[in-house]
Amino acid sequence: MKYIIFIFIGIINGLFTSGAGQLLIFYLIYILKKDTKKSREYSLSIMPLISIPTFIIYCLKSDIDIIICIFLVLISLFFGFLGNIAMKKINSNVLNLVSGIFLVVITVVSLWRTL
Amino acid sequence: MIIYFIAALSSFLSGMGIGGGSIFILLSILFNILDLNEARTYNLLLFISVGIIISLKNFKQINNQKSKYLKGIFFIGIGALTGAFFSKYVPEKILKILFYIFLMIIGLYEIIVSLKNIKLDKNNNEKGVY
């Protein structure tokens, strides 16, 4: 069953390119009852690897600036690392609450833009 | 310049595992800095970089549970390829709306359960004190 859900999450990733990580985290935390922080790290280690082929396809489709790319990589390495350290210091329930609020706000704005 | 501030914010949130990628796409489009394709491409780059640094940071843990990670990559990867293949043939707008509603329900569920747990923890702590 778990792997069927994983395939479904992958399909969502392939179709929409975003949101699948949150789905995986939800499944691990609330359905499988796994530890919040380990689940988020598990998702963070897996989902970017799966995004590499999609990134290559998008690179071919869009006109991207290599200088911006270099700065973005440096920024994301530094702030991603800081974010991960901060995550470990925040209470799991507070983390899930913030995550839920972000998810609702983002989906409401995205829905409003789509309609 | 503003793109780097948005990137810093979304990378920080990504590092926390609370969906920074969507924020990058949303803000860069709302501020008219990038078009959707560029935003998605730069977002994937940010997401991959954050993933690499987190994986390196937790290399020991990943190495100890190698098969669990490999199975995850394998099954989600199969799904992602299938999804990418069928993305051309599905009615994107309707699916997107349904997916956003589904994500919103997940978000609301997260908020309700977290608030319940925070209240429960508070009560337990008070009982422990008195």
Secondary structure letter of residue A35 according to DSSP: -
Q: Tens digits of per-residue pLDDT, A39-92?
A: 888 888 888 888 888 788 778 877 888 898 999 999 999 999 998 888 888 888
| Residue spans per domain, chain A | 2-114
Q: Which of residues 75-94 of B touch A (CB under 8 A)?
A: 75-87, 90, 93
DSSP collapsed to 3 states, B97-126: HHHHHHHHHHHHHHHHHHHHHHHHHHHHHH
Q: Is the pLDDT of residue B130 over 60?
A: no
Distance CA B73, CA A77 (A): 22
Distance CA B106, CA B102 (A): 6
Residues of chain B positioned with their CB less than 8 A from the CB of A26:
106, 109-110
Distance CA B14, CA A76 (A): 9
Residue B101 belongs to some domain of the structure: yes
Instruction: Tell me which residue range forms the domain holding B121.
Output: 91-130
Count: domains in chain B: 1
Yes or no: say if B50 and B15 are a contact pair by the CB < 8 Å rule. yes
Q: Is A70 on the interface with B (CB under 8 A)?
A: no
Query: What is the pLDDT, as a whole number, of residue B102?
Result: 82
Residue B48 belongs to some domain of the structure: no
Residue B4 belongs to some domain of the structure: no
User: String of b and e for A26-56 (b: at least 16 CB within 10 Å)?
Assistant: bbbbbeeeeebbebbbbbbbbbbbbbeebbe
ipTM: 0.83
**Nearest residue in B to A7, CA atom:** B79
Residue B13 belongs to some domain of the structure: no
Q: Is the pLDDT of residue A115 over 80?
A: no
